[in-house]
Copies of this chain bind each other. A is one copy, B any other.
Amino acid sequence: MQPDQATQLRQLESQLAAEYQTILSKKLNLDLTRGKPSSDQLDLSDALDGILKGNYIAADGTDTRNYGGLDGLPEAKQLGANIMGVDAANVLVGGSSSLTLMFQVASTAYLFGLKDAASAWKNEGEVKFLCPVPGYDRHFTICEQLGIKMVTVPMTSTGPDMDAVEAAIKADSSIKGMWCVPKYSNPTGVVYSDETVERIAKLGKIASANFRVFWDNAYSVHDLVDNAPQLASILEATRRNGTEDSVLQFASTSKITQAGAGVAFVAASAANLAGFKKALGAQTIGPDKVNQIRHTRFLPDRSALMAHMKKHAELLNPRFEAVLEALAGAFEGTDLGAWEKPVGGYFVSFDTRKGCAKETVRLAAEAGVKLTPAGATYPYGKDPEDRNIRIAPSVPTVPEVVEAMKVFVTCVKLASVRQEIAALA
């Protein structure tokens, strides 16, 4: 290292520190933490309340106001099928939360078995799940709660590193499951390639018995562009490979209508559905069918659904553009950061240089810009390289996103240059 370079770094640091001081004086209060719809987005579904106009009767004559119907109304199954691109016969409609459905399915597989009591994971000693990283913290929490050990595999721009996935499964028969967010992955925003989907469908052939992929298709219709990438059908791929029981798919209307007050779905093989329903029947008489029928009246078919999602895209698009423009402007062609350019979903995932994520998040927080805690996208909250930061731009206004990204860019640069200076010492 030449003295010139050290001097240059210190000059750069001074300049960035001054910019940061200016930001501090603005006393900002901005939040890029969670993947929630904005209130403008929520307004799009306000017609849900009152949509029934006194008609609570489903197409098959079911009075939705009374008990029963463990697996949901036929038209609600069709709504789930429209969202997930599966057959209605493969859909069970749950309550208002797909996360709850995932927990219920995982705990059923663990405690009671999806096939029979002998198939319960708890019978097999240590149980492990493959977790592509970075990933979704709430998936990891389910594993932690159930005592399932998490084994990480890297995400790539075409989905999980399938060489690593297959090698891990072949080497370790205690791997009983894997988390996937196949379209607009949380947080990297990538769409799994056709090859990745095909290879995941084949895992059932090499994995140990009772292996299950949890296919959380949370963003299946959440495109930001017209010619959105198509996710290959995992259902068809498993049918081709005779591995239909190895995948359970999940989705909800939380980011379509009302977050946490929508309808959640699981799609699975007949055998998996039967096993799950057996356990579910001990837990509930049935889900809220009134909310199901509200949703089916509001989104009666696939074209109504897609037209509705277009309105979301119009609101989300400028926010994503603001993030991606800021990142490109500041970091394109540098080694200060790497990111995907998602065309759907709720997140932009940014990798700093090694060891700079926590410091970036800390600097941003002090400057009034809240980010998801560094490490949250990794099991047990530990990002081994301290690189990944999840940016969620849906809630703030566009000017707020622009402002927040100016802060973010400054904080990344400041953390990076200070790290370099520290390395000189």
Given A67-B259, A289-B261, A290-B258, A97 and B284 contact (CB-CB distance below 8 Å): yes
Chain B, residue nearest A64 (CB): B261
Enumerate chain B residues within 8 angstroms of A282, measured Cβ to Cβ.
103, 141-142, 144-145
Annotate A71-111 by CB proximity to B: 1 below 8 A, 0 otherwise.
00000000000000000000000011101100110010001
| A51 neighbours in B (Cβ, 8 Å) | 49
Alpha-carbon distance between A103 and B294 when the two chains are bound, in angstroms: 27
Inter-chain contact A284/B99, CB cutoff 8 Å: yes
CA distance A261 to B58 in the complex (A): 14
A68: Cβ under 8 A from any B Cβ: yes
Q: Which residues of B contact A333 (CB under 8 A)?
A: none
Q: Mark A270-286, 1 if CB is under 8 A from B, else 0.
A: 00000000010111111
Q: Are B287 and A99 in touch, CB under 8 angstroms?
A: no
Alpha-carbon gap, A288 to B100, bound state (A): 12
Partner of A54, one of B46, B138, B145: B46
> Quick check: A99 and B285 within 8 Å, CB to CB?
yes
Contacts of A170 in B (CB 8 A): none
Which of A32-40, A300-308, A316-324, A372-380 lies at the interface with chain B?
Answer: A32-40
Residues of B with C-beta under 8 A to A56: 42, 46, 49
In-complex Cβ contact of A287 among B49, B96, B104, B287 (8 A): B96
A138 to B67, CA, bound (A): 14
Assembled-state Cα–Cα distance A67/B255 (Å): 10
Tell me, yes or no, whether A112 is within 8 Å of chain B by CB.
yes
Whether A67 contacts B288 in the complex (CB less than 8 A), given A49-B50, A283-B103, comes out as no
Interchain CA distance A284-B37 in the complex, whole Å: 17
Q: Does A260 contact B (CB under 8 A)?
A: yes
Q: Are A67 and B290 in contact (CB under 8 A)?
A: no
Bound CA–CA A80/B48 (angstroms) = 25
Contact across chains for B287 and A67 when beta carbons are under 8 A apart:
no
> Are B63 and A42 in contact, CB atoms less than 8 angstroms apart?
yes
CB–CB A65/B42 < 8 A:
yes
Whether a CB of chain B sits under 8 angstroms from the CB of A402 is no
Whether A66 sits at the interface, judged by CB under 8 Å, is yes
Q: List, in ascending order, chain B residues with CB within 8 A of A138's CB.
A: 285
* Cβ-defined contact, B259 with A65, below 8 A: yes
Q: Is the CB of B254 within 8 A of A97?
A: no
A185 within 8 A of B: no
Cβ proximity bits A177-190 to B, threshold 8 Å, 1 near / 0 not: 00000000000000
Q: How would residues 130 to 167 of chain A score, 1 for a CB under 8 Å from any chain B CB and 0 otherwise?
A: 00000000100110110000000000000000000000
A116 to chain B, nearest CB (A): 14
Closest B residue to A282 by beta carbon equals B145
Report if A52 contacts B (CB, 8 A): yes
Closest Cβ of chain B to A191, distance in Å, is 24
* Chain B residues, CB < 8 A from A258: 65-66, 290
Assess whether A217 is interfacial by the CB under 8 Å rule. no
How long is the Cα–Cα vector from A82 to B37 in the complex, in angstroms? 33
- Contacts A39-B65, A145-B279 known; list 8 others, CB within 8 Å: A36-B66, A39-B63, A49-B56, A50-B53, A65-B261, A95-B95, A111-B111, A261-B288
Chain A residues within CB distance 8 Å of chain B: 34, 36-37, 39, 42, 45-46, 48-54, 56, 63-68, 95-97, 99-100, 103-104, 107, 111-112, 138, 141-142, 144-145, 254, 258-261, 279, 281-291, 294
